[in-house]
């Protein structure tokens, strides 16, 4: 079983829809949570990161973390065709030092006109 | 400010050969990490370097190695290539990496090197 599970999709929505992307994780030691967006032939681009449970909003994007149920979500409001990409959730443990992210496999999103 | 630069963008190699990939981090960033991305496994952590020292290592065989130079630039080497090594290799940099109570140094990725092993 992977430490971070993510529905691969693909997910197809009409322009203007609210998109909900979700991940679950198994390791309660994970403390930081991130969402990356990856366009075709590009590297992942950081969208949002959060440390605590609750919501964090940035423009049309809202990241939500529920540590009690080990569930993280990304909501996209008023989705646009330019949002079409693969969305990756990632988690991180605060160790004595070092960066090591554990990623979900990514959800492919297509926003259609 | 220039982003993370990876060279080359594409590589085609034959089984048994070796390959070296290069990464230039964002100016001022001291931590460089390498990830392998495949359709089946997604992004998997290879290793991280900080101030020329390997700080973390993932579960990859010893054929995968890396190093970091004093200017923070990093190289990754794969020896005795196998067909299963075909993947997108991503480099990411951050200011320092996690080691304190406050995490404000997220990873910034390059666009990767697409390696095809035939």
SS3 state at B83: helix
Over residues B14-28, mean pLDDT: 97
Average pLDDT value for residue range B30-34: 92
DSSP B40-69: TTEEEEEEEEETTEEEEE-S--TTEEEEE-
- Supply A76's token pair: 């996209």
Q: Are the beta carbons of B109 and A92 separated by less than 8 Å?
A: no
- Distance separating alpha carbons of residues B68 and B70, to the nearest angstrom: 7
Q: Which residue would you say has higher pLDDT here, A98 or B56?
A: B56
Residue numbers in B near A106 (CB within 8 A): 42
Chain B: give the shortest CA distance to residue A43, in Å. Answer: 4
* Top-confidence residue, B45 or A50: B45
pLDDT of residue A108: 95
pLDDT band at B103 (very low <50, low <70, confident <90, very high): low
Distance from C-alpha of B20 to C-alpha of B65, rounded to nearest angstrom: 10
pLDDT at B47: 92
Which of B45, B28, B36, B35 lies closest to B94, judged by CA?
A: B28
A17-72 residue pLDDT tens: 999 999 999 988 888 899 999 999 999 999 988 877 888 999 999 999 999 999 99
Whether the pLDDT of residue B98 is over 60: the answer is no
Closest of B69, B6, B15, B10 to residue B35, by C-alpha: B6
pLDDT for B85 equals 98
CB contact under 8 A, B109 and A100: no
- Which of the pair, A97 or B118, is modelled with greater confidence? B118
Chain A residue with the nearest C-alpha to that of B51: A98
Residue with tokens 């996690």: B98
Side-chain half-sphere exposure of A95, counting CA atoms within 13 A = 11
Q: Are B89 and B47 a contacting pair, CB within 8 Å?
A: no
State the average pLDDT for chain A.
Answer: 91
Reported confidence tier of residue A9, pLDDT bands at 50, 70, 90: confident
Q: A106: Cβ–Cβ under 8 A, 6 or more apart, which residues?
A: A6, A8, A38, A86, A87, A88, B42
Tokens of A82: 């330019």
- The answer to whether the Cβ–Cβ distance between B109 and A36 falls below 8 Å is yes
**How far apart are alpha carbons A78 and A31 in whole angstroms?**
29
Q: Is the pLDDT of residue B80 over 80?
A: yes
Contact with chain A for residue B26, Cβ under 8 A: no
Give CA–CA dist A59/A72, Å, rounded. Answer: 18
CB neighbours (10 Å) of residue B10? Answer: 9
């Amino acid at each position: 079983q992977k430490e971070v599970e993510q529905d691969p999709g693909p997910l197809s929505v009409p322009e203007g829809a609210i998109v909900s992307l979700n991940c679950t994780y198994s390791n309660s030691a994970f403390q930081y949570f991130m969402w990356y967006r990856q366009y075709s032939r590009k590297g992942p681009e950081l969208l949002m990161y959060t440390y605590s449970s609750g919501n964090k909003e940035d423009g049309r994007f809202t990241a939500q973390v529920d540590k009690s149920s080990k569930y993280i979500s990304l909501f996209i409001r008023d989705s646009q065709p330019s949002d079409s990409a693969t969305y990756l959730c990632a988690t991180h443990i605060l160790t004595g030092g070092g960066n090591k992210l554990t990623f979900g496999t990514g959800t492919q999103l297509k926003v259609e006109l | 400010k220039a982003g993370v630069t990876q060279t080359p963008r594409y590589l085609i190699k034959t089984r048994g050969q070796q390959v070296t990939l290069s990464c230039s981090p964002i100016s001022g960033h001291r931590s460089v990490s390498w990830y392998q991305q495949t359709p089946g496994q997604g992004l998997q952590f290879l290793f991280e370097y900080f101030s020329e020292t390997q700080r973390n290592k993932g579960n990859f065989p010893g054929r995968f190695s890396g190093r970091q130079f004093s200017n923070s630039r990093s190289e990754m080497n794969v020896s005795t290539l196998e067909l299963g090594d075909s993947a997108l290799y991503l480099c990411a940099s951050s200011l320092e990496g996690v080691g304190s109570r406050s995490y404000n140094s997220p990873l910034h990725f390059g666009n990767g090197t697409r390696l095809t092993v035939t």
